[in-house]
Amino acid sequence: MTDRELLMVIGHAYNCQSCRARLLADPARTLAGQRLGAQEREKIAKLNSDSFGSLNTLAAAIGSTTAELYAIMDEPRCRLRHL
């Protein structure tokens, strides 16, 4: 199972263009204050715009499943939690 905080960040960025652009432009600065471990931050730092091409591609890039991403993206906190 993938870390819930990682899924929250990635799930929101998948749906929010402005947060995704910020995350891809400067992951370290965008993630300041997020409760993520070094491994999660490393996974996010390796993402690029192609990683967000489909939910399957994104899930594979972070070592998650599409079911985990769908589940977290359905939560109001994920939809409303801007980076």
pLDDT in tens, 14-65: 999 999 999 999 999 999 988 899 999 999 999 999 999 999 999 999 999 9
Answer yes or no: pTM beyond 0.85.
yes
pLDDT band at 1 (very low <50, low <70, confident <90, very high): very low
Task: For the chain, state the CA radius of gyration.
Answer: 11
In sequence order, what are the residues at sequence separation of 6 or more whose Cβ sits closer than 8 angstroms to the Cβ of residue 28?
A: 41, 45
pLDDT band at 72 (very low <50, low <70, confident <90, very high): very high
Maximum distance among all Cα pairs of the chain, rounded to whole angstroms: 29
pLDDT value at 8 more than 60: yes
